[in-house]
Amino acid sequence: MKFAKAMQMLVLLQLLVLFGIMDNSVAVNAETGFVSFMCGASSDYFSQSDGISWTSDAAYAPPISKAFSLPNQASLLTLRAFPPDASSPSGRSCFSNLVPPSLSLVRATFAYGNYDSLNKPPVFGVSIGATMYSTINLNVQDPWVEEIILNADQEQAFCLIAMDGIPVISLLELRPLPPRSYNRASSSLGVALKKVYRIDCGSEAMKITRYPDDRYDRIWDPDHYYLDGSTTSTHSISRKLKTSAVTDDCPLIVLQSNRFNYHNQTLSYSLPLSKPNGKYLMNAYFGELYNTTGPTFIMTVNGAVLTTVVGWPPLSGAEFTATQAASSWWNISLLPVIGAPQINGLEVYEIIQLMHVSNQRDARALNLIELNFNIQNVLLDWALGSDPCFPVPWRGVICNTVGVVTSLDLSNSQLSGDVAGLFQDFTSLESLNASGNNLVGHVQNLTKRFQSLRDLDLSDNQLSGTLDVFATLNLHYLNIANNQFSGPLPGRLTQPGLVVITSGNPCIQYGSTDPCVPSLASSTVPQSVERNAIRSSKHYSKSVITGVVMGISAAVLAIAAAGFTGCRRYKLKRELINAFQEAGTVNILEKELTLGKNAKRFSFLELENATNRFKQILGEGNLGLVFRGRLQDGTDVAIKMRADGLQLDADSFLNEVSLLSKVRHQNLVLLIGFCLECKKQLLVFEFMSGGSLKDHLYGPLSKIQPMSWEQRLTSVIGAAVGKICLCKIRFCAFCLTFLFLKCSLRKSKELGSSADYFPALLYSSN
């Protein structure tokens, strides 16, 4: 706890120095290449103390983000927050192409400061490219500074990934480093360096060293918080030192002061480490300040000898670098051999293994789609420079473990333009859904590019052309409904096992007659035939005409009456089969179906949105998973999805819906609706907020609020009453394997009003 408070003080001290509150020095010119964002600020800011120009991030931040002020922070003035949005369900919010393709220091400052008056500091991840290198927990420390050194081989995005609460950021800084320094941070080696400690070992108390004293704006903390023992002193000079042996450009001001043990005894630093199983890099800097040969001493970490530092030349600097496995603490000790041990600077970095990036061919294909349709304006996590698969995939993208894109869902994404821009060169794409957009044009030849494609949905666009292009693919499912395709249906698309949906394309030809080309025989009538017909009609008597008119009128009235009584039933039936009924390939409902009026039909997209892409699992039964969702009207629901291998045929599934829709009883869970689309069968039930009866009897809730015997008896009676109701409406005769029962529990102080009803386990009626 004491060390944590010390770290908090160091962070605040760094920020005070940053904005010149403790320094009245004259303004200087900042180094070329510095990028400094003040997140959430309405205007730019120039720091008089160090000459650094701070830029508002308004032009670079994602549009969904919001700016806030920080009235309770003495040094930080603003922040940018990234609230959740339907277009970015992955929770990834990015500054696109921010990190340059060179050796750079990236430093970010995160502050919460209770800006929203909720007292709920967030937890979120931070990533560059495909690598999430840190988890920020502002419950532990607020503000929080995170720094990483990496050598990127291409421009990369800086992203915040939501975990618990809304991610926030106050400052974002990029500093170029000299190419020859920090050669362990190499993209070719797949390594980056995350700063843990950077200590100025001979500095004055409470003095932070950074730009302009460090031309690369590295922040050096004073060493008082880390010293193990008090028999030490400092010494400093103003003369220049030879630094040719210092490969990582330790600033001269750090080399000009040192910490030593004036009793020629051991000099030690104790440094806690956050990842005991990690691997760390240490840079130790030494400077000879007495114009004589430097001392000789042994350097150890946790008692293990790293090296023997032999006296170095007068008025010169030296550097020692080592990698070492971690433990909970590092005790770095300098043991005297000749003279008093001394040290000038110390850096400790956690070695971060960079994640392997997505398949380059697939990433290039997705970037081309993004550029063709400007998708980033709609799907906010499609940020240039971020990885489409790692650490979390872009919305609509599914990848395998090696970064190959296997599924792409761009349905209802406001895409507008030529469909040719959609079909890029993927490695092994298996599913593509671009339905519900405003795509136009002809689909090009896909034979060479999409041999792995199995599911293709282009419905509800404005596409045209013939269907021959689809016959060359090895598809299992094709949906081109509600477009402008024309021409004959290829025989390849009528094969068994292939689901093809073509409704809403009036010019598709299913037989020998083209529906959009009028027949010459029916449109051209010889004049002789027309004259004979006119002449014959004059002989018709008025009585015959009257009889015909009356007969037709009676037939029309009868048809109208039948149509009026059956209109609603027919409409419901057509809604059910619309997604499946296409010319000659799939015809699943030829018989009449009797559905309960209370069973609403949902589209799969509606339920996907209601469950936030099926994220929260309530449980799992023998037939599939049950998810929690919320409908557009705010109703909480439980959605049961049948597993692919356990789905019923369409007739049986709709029979089950028809039967369940009749259930209306206080002890039975209410069926709200269903979804029936190709390979998708879902039932929508009311949500029981109190948890399951099993949880209250045997699960974690039983330890918090055990059920009384009275409540148990009430539950048993409720289950029995529900079972009787099922049998009365002849459910038992159908031998349904799974039925839902709801057990009523009396309100009590122990359970509370939110636990009045609990869904029981699934019961068998065999």
Q: What's 98's domain CATH number? A: 2.60.120
Asked whether residue 431 is assigned to any structural domain, the reply reads: yes
Rounded CA-CA distance 269/121 in Å is 32
Same domain for 344 and 419, yes or no, is no
In degrees and rounded to multiples of 5, residue 717 shows phi and psi of: -65, -40
Taking only the tens place, the pLDDT of each residue in 400-418 is: 999 999 999 999 888 999 9
Same domain for 110 and 217, yes or no, is no
Rounded CA-CA distance 247/181 in Å is 6
Q: 278 pLDDT band (50/70/90 cuts)? A: confident
Same domain for 238 and 321, yes or no, is yes
Lowest mean pLDDT among 192-196, 283-287, 384-388, 515-519: 515-519
Same domain for 282 and 418, yes or no, is no
Taking only the tens place, the pLDDT of each residue in 99-124 is: 999 999 999 999 999 999 999 999 99
Instruction: Supply the pLDDT for residue 371.
Output: 85
Please give, one letter per residue, the 3-state secondary structure of 6-67. Answer: HHHHHHHHHHHHHCCCCCCCCCCCCCCCCEEEECCCCCCEECCCCCCEEEECCCCCCCCCEE
Same domain for 368 and 499, yes or no, is yes
Asked whether residue 632 is assigned to any structural domain, the reply reads: yes
Q: Would you call 754 helix, strand, or coil by DSSP?
A: helix
Sign of CA dihedral 236, 240, 245, 250: positive
Taking only the tens place, the pLDDT of each residue in 161-187 is: 999 999 999 999 999 999 889 988 876
Rounded CA-CA distance 39/138 in Å is 17
Same domain for 414 and 278, yes or no, is no
Lowest mean pLDDT among 89-93, 152-156, 169-173, 517-521: 517-521
Structural contact between residues 589 and 608, judged by C-beta atoms closer than 8 angstroms: no
Instruction: Supply the pLDDT for residue 761.
Output: 34
Work out the mean pLDDT of the chain and round it to a whole number.
78
Instruction: Supply the pLDDT for residue 725.
Output: 64
For residue 600, the surrounding DSSP H or E stretch is strand 600-601
Taking only the tens place, the pLDDT of each residue in 594-643 is: 454 568 888 888 898 899 888 888 887 777 889 999 998 888 899 998 87
Instruction: Supply the pLDDT for residue 70.
Output: 84
Sign of CA dihedral 351, 193, 249, 229: negative
Same domain for 151 and 210, yes or no, is no
Instruction: Supply the pLDDT for residue 176.
Output: 94
Instruction: Supply the pLDDT for residue 408.
Output: 95
Bridge pairing between strands 477-479 and 455-457: parallel
Lowest mean pLDDT among 209-223, 483-497, 655-669, 720-734: 720-734
Beta bridge partners of 194: 148, 350
Length of the chain: 766
Rounded CA-CA distance 307/325 in Å is 16
Asked whether residue 129 is assigned to any structural domain, the reply reads: yes
Taking only the tens place, the pLDDT of each residue in 726-755 is: 665 544 433 333 344 444 333 333 333 222
Arithmetic mean of pLDDT, 324-350: 90
Rounded CA-CA distance 226/346 in Å is 11
Residue type, 584: G
Asked whether residue 544 is assigned to any structural domain, the reply reads: no
Instruction: Supply the pLDDT for residue 454.
Output: 92
Rounded CA-CA distance 201/227 in Å is 9
Distance linking the first and last C-alpha atoms of the chain: 61
Q: Token pair 């069968």 is at which residue?
A: 681
Percent of the chain with pLDDT over 70: 74
Residue type, 92: R
Q: What's 433's domain CATH number? A: 3.80.10.10
Asked whether residue 15 is assigned to any structural domain, the reply reads: no
Same domain for 398 and 481, yes or no, is yes
Same domain for 195 and 339, yes or no, is yes
More confident residue, 483 or 545: 483
397: Cα within 13 Å, side-chain hemisphere: 32
Instruction: Supply the pLDDT for residue 284.
Output: 95
Same domain for 201 and 171, yes or no, is no
In degrees and rounded to multiples of 5, residue 644 shows phi and psi of: -55, -40
Same domain for 612 and 676, yes or no, is yes
For residue 371, the surrounding DSSP H or E stretch is helix 360-373
Asked whether residue 593 is assigned to any structural domain, the reply reads: no
Out of 321, 353, 385, a domain closes at: 353
Task: Quote the pTM value.
Answer: 0.62
Domain span at residue 378?
A: 364-509
Arithmetic mean of pLDDT, 27-52: 80
Instruction: Supply the pLDDT for residue 195.
Output: 96
Lowest mean pLDDT among 166-175, 482-491, 502-511: 502-511
Asked whether residue 18 is assigned to any structural domain, the reply reads: no
Out of 320, 353, 386, a domain closes at: 353
Structural contact between residues 589 and 577, judged by C-beta atoms closer than 8 angstroms: yes
Q: Which tokens is 690 given?
A: 């109190």
Asked whether residue 343 is assigned to any structural domain, the reply reads: yes
Domain count, the chain: 4
Contacts 24+ apart (CB under 8 A), 139-142: 140/4, 141/4, 141/7, 141/8, 141/11, 142/111, 142/112, 142/113
Q: Closest Cα partner for 298 from 325, 272, 266?
A: 266
Taking only Cα atoms into account, the Rg of the chain, rounded to an integer number of angstroms, comes to 36
Instruction: Supply the pLDDT for residue 258.
Output: 92
Beta bridge partners of 197: 348
Q: What's 331's domain CATH number? A: 2.60.120.430
Same domain for 339 and 407, yes or no, is no
Out of 125, 143, 176, a domain closes at: 176
More confident residue, 64 or 379: 64
